């Protein structure tokens, strides 16, 4: 999440006296995921239920924000504000009425803000 006051050819900066300073805000990402996906926090996991059955659970969220320079000399849009996230997804698996070990995947997601103009 970024402040957004100073956009254009910059990333996450906000006014500071007569200049701009970097302003990266990681916010409450699990809280946002819980709200968007309807998750419940249980024993260090964020769990999604379908009725009484667990659908999946998330854990180990790690987020890295890479800011782009303020007013770069060459605004070619090759570098933007990059959010790189990794989260662990566990999905219960059953076959023939028997529970099997869960499917576990470390999901990596990237999002990039780049100015259009």
String of b and e for 39-53 (b: at least 16 CB within 10 Å)?
Answer: beeeeebbbbeeeee
Torsion angle (degrees, nearest 10) of CA 66, 38, 28, 107? -30
pLDDT for residue 5: 46
CB 104 within 8 A of CB 89: yes
pLDDT tens string 8-57: 555 667 777 777 777 776 778 899 999 999 999 999 999 999 999 999 99
Q: What does the pLDDT average to over 62-86?
A: 75
What whole-number distance in Å separates Cα of residue 33 and Cα of residue 52?
20
């Amino acid at each position: 999440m970024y402040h957004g006051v100073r956009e254009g050819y910059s990333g996450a900066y906000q006014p500071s006296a007569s200049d701009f300073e970097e302003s990266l805000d990681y916010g409450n990402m699990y809280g946002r995921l819980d709200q968007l996906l309807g998750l419940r926090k249980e024993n260090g996991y964020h769990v999604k239920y379908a009725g009484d059955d667990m659908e999946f659970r998330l854990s180990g969220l790690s987020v890295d924000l890479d800011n782009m320079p303020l007013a770069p000399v060459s605004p070619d849009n090759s570098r933007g504000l990059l959010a790189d996230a990794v989260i662990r997804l566990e999905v219960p698996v059953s076959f023939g009425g028997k529970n099997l070990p869960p499917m576990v995947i470390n999901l990596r997601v990237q999002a990039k803000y780049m100015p259009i103009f």
